[in-house]
Amino acid sequence: MSTTSLPGGTWSLGDMTVTRFGYGAMQLAGPGVMGPPADHDGALAVLRAAVDLGITHIDTADAYGPRVTNALIREALHPYPGSLHVATKVGATRDEQGGWPPARRPDQLRRAIDENLESLGLDRLDLVNLRLGDATGPRPGALSEAFETLAELRRQGLIRHLGVSNATAEQVVEAQAIAPIVCVQNMYNLAYRHDDELIDRLAAEGIAYVPFFPLGGFSPLQSEALSAVAKRVDATPMAVALAWLLQRSPNILLIPGTSSATHLRENVAGAGVTLSGEDIAELENISAQV
């Protein structure tokens, strides 16, 4: 499958062209995003299937596992195809209880960049998102010291492009005043639409918006309206949710995760379903009902 035949086509992240339908590697780690996968060979197969499908945007973080998903990506795909771009995140680590304590001091960020370079087997990271907030969502607060650290590492040639994750709209503006960003990665889906205004602003500026938990995350999307539309278009509810995101705005890039190559192929096929104006209107009422 070529990149042009993937649902949504492509988008430019700075000077990198990526498929709007990407792949998120978080689910390749063990339960709670801790430890190795139950099926090591199966995890490698998913990553190779993503590339075989034409996907050129893989999202990861060294905190997944920790250091598990990056190692799997390297084992499965290194040396990487020239068209493939790997995005990673820094700004949080893991504790023994599986929590995500922040790690945004300059020394912690420099160490995280070095660890990502090592674990992925790269001399330069294509895209680094600064993870803000906490496990409950974005939190107000200055990001200048942390983002200036990443901007300096970018000037040193260790990072190609920057973005922010789990950020408020105000933090996005603050980051943009420090260095160019190519994407914002926040939670967003049919039921959780707090970033509607931000998505539209970023689209006008040519900046990508990458929704995590596009299918609801650990609590999958459920709605009578979603099920009704899915039945009408002869698709699964999850396929409809992905298709709606691709049709919501041209700057939305998808990174749904799965540990199954079969499920990955189903997601790709399903996201290509065409939704009518009636379908979209019905789906857009879901957030008001949640």
Residues that are catalytic? 64
List strands edge to edge, sheet with 159-165: 23-24, 57-59, 85-90, 125-131, 159-165, 183-187, 208-212
CA atoms of 106 and 256, how far apart (whole Å): 30
Determine the length of the chain.
290
Q: First vs last Cα of the chain: how many Å apart?
A: 37
**Residues contacting 274, CB < 8 A, separation 6+:** 233, 243
CB 41 within 8 A of CB 76: no
Q: Which secondary structure element, helix H or strand E, spans residue 87, and what is its range?
A: strand 85-90
CB 8 within 8 A of CB 1: no
